[in-house]
Structure 1
Amino acid sequence: MFAILLRKGCVSIEVIKRELPDGIADLVAELYGSVMIILDPSLPDCEARYIVAHEIYHHLDEHPDLRLLKRTFFGDKYEYRSDLFAAALLIDEMPEEGETDVSFAARLGVPVRLVRLWFFPAA
């Protein structure tokens, strides 16, 4: 369980591992005021960490959940913001001298796109 402190109070998010249908890696649900992130247990730990961080932002941002409203000229702004939030939570150090973005991402256990987004946001 994660507890997130907000200006308006504390939000608890429970992370549960359960078998999900084929092709679905995670599911976010709010039931009677409780927020749950359900992860397929077959996910590697590094992917599960990324998904949890990404989905926490989706919950906190309270944006509309309609795909058609999210598209912009530059892509999906809500996915971009969620990935930026995940990068801020998961990347807590600088790459070593001469370390590539791919090896740095592997060492931290985060997707390469998060490293590129965090260090080269315009790229």
Structure 2
Amino acid sequence: MRVMVLVKATAESEAGDMPAAEILAEMGRFNEELAAAGILLEAAGLKPTSAGKRVAFDGTGRSVRDGPFSATSELVAGFWLWEVKDLDEAVAWVKRCPNPMPGPSEIEIRPLYEMSDFADV
């Protein structure tokens, strides 16, 4: 099963503060472990929402809004795409992950839809 592992944003990541060299080194080692285990499909950090845009849809209408966006705890600062056998394996790997932020942080795990999920549609 594929899962998207989302690193939630913090005030520091939304301010554009770069992680300390120690955090980057720890994350690099963790990513190497994921790759060696055959789990890592993709990984990236995201720039703050101040560098982004949102496009809202309403019927045929489209409106564009510039960042930054509010509710920092609901925003994403980075992600991994993993191939795991089940959610329990994904949770076990996340528990091994170094804290991605200098202070309290949160990581969310979301399964991706697979073609087999649409078999009845």
Q: TM-score, normalised by structure 1?
A: 0.32
Larger relative contact order (Cα-Cα within 8 Å, sequence gap ≥ 6) = 2
Answer with 1 or 2: which has the greater Rg: 2
Q: Greater strand percent: which structure?
A: 2
